[in-house]
Amino acid sequence: MTTFPLSRRDLLASLSSAALVGLSASAAAAENATPELIDVHLHIASSRLSRSTGNEALPEPFDQTLQPGGFERLGAQIAQELRGAGVTQGLCMPSTEISDADPLGIQRSLTQAKHIAGVKLHAIGLAHPERFDLDHLKRVEAVLESGAVKALKAYLGYLHYDPYSVGYRAYFRLAAKYKIPVIFHTGDTNSERAKLKHAHPLAIDEIAVDFPHTNFVLAHFGNPWVLDAAQVMYKNPNVWVDLSAFLVGTAEQFATMHQSGVVERTVERVREGIEFVEASDRFLFGSDWPLAPIAAYRDVVAKMFPANERAGVFADNAKRLFRLS
């Protein structure tokens, strides 16, 4: 019996912005809607990971922003997607392309966010493991001082550096100083050019111990190494988890995955990790849009937690960690 109509690799390769935007906004009514929804893992601008990893199969719904009026058009589509899912605030992943004028890779996100009405969007800056020279770090600190970013992101695996590489350490210290967390990509990568050994969640234990004043987020709960990630989180009070990208696809593909039992089995697998951690107050909702329709993914994450814990996972935990109002 075939349970997966397509593999996750195939799904990722087949995704296009046209298929996702619009379809997902009309996705099933919010079975488990909460008054507030904060999505801590959005890509509203290209991360340029495909360029740095040589993987052409990554979806690039952002190409239209190269055309005149493109930011406006895509902005209207993204706003429809976010508001249709009930998202009130969102955190936006950075580009891996940086410059002196944009040392944290946030300019495209900020430009795009201006054209997305009705949702409070915040930028996440790039921790670039090759840029720890003092001049660069001075420019980084100036951005952090201005309050323009709510977190830093390290693209583990895609960039071939371990989390404890010397190049990341200054960023961990700055994050503690400015009271913002550092988010790591952990687990499976959407690129054959990426190296998994850098993205295993167990590696975060070492820096969680060495940098006790910095908060760290394991994006994707280390999938498929969920129990390893759960152990790192259970032991270290400064480690949090975002639950994005356990399933990817269009709204139609999500409906198929519900019918075939894939959603149920995935939820069970994640719940094993959540139960190991014994508390839900450091779990965060993230969709990894445009890889998944937000409304459909929200309904999947809702199944991972009892009703009385959902407000925390969908909003309150993120408010505490990122100091959002």
Applying CB under 5 A, which residues contact Zn ion?
A: 288
Q: Which is nearer to Zn ion, 288 or 299 (CB)?
A: 288
Say which DSSP state 35 is in: S
In whole angstroms, how close is the CB of 134 to Zn ion at the nearest point?
Answer: 30
Least CB distance to Zn ion at residue 259 (A): 26
The two structure tokens encoding residue 276: 């190991």
Q: What is the DSSP string of 185-234?
A: E-S--S-TTS-GGGG-GGGHHHHHHH-TTS-EEEEGGGTT-HHHHHHHHH
- Least distance CB 43 / Zn ion (angstroms): 6
- Give least dist CB 271 to Zn ion, A: 22
Cα gap 48→58, rounded to integer Å: 10
User: Of 21 and 170, which CB lies nearer to Zn ion in the complex structure?
Assistant: 21
Q: Cα–Cα distance between 210 and 232 in angstroms, integer?
A: 13
81/288 with CB nearer Zn ion: 288
Closest by Cα among 196, 222, 203, 191 to 96: 191
Query: For the stretch 300-322, what's the b/e string if a residue is b when 16 or more beta carbons lie within 10 angstroms of its beta carbon?
Result: bbbbbbeeebbebbbbbbbeebb
Least distance (Å) from Zn ion to the CB of residue 203? 19
Q: What is the phi-psi region of residue 196: left when phi exceeds 0, alpha when psi lies from -120 to 50, beta otherwise?
A: alpha
Smaller CB distance to Zn ion: residue 159 or 170? 159
**Is the Cβ of residue 74 or residue 170 nearer to Zn ion in the bound state?**
74
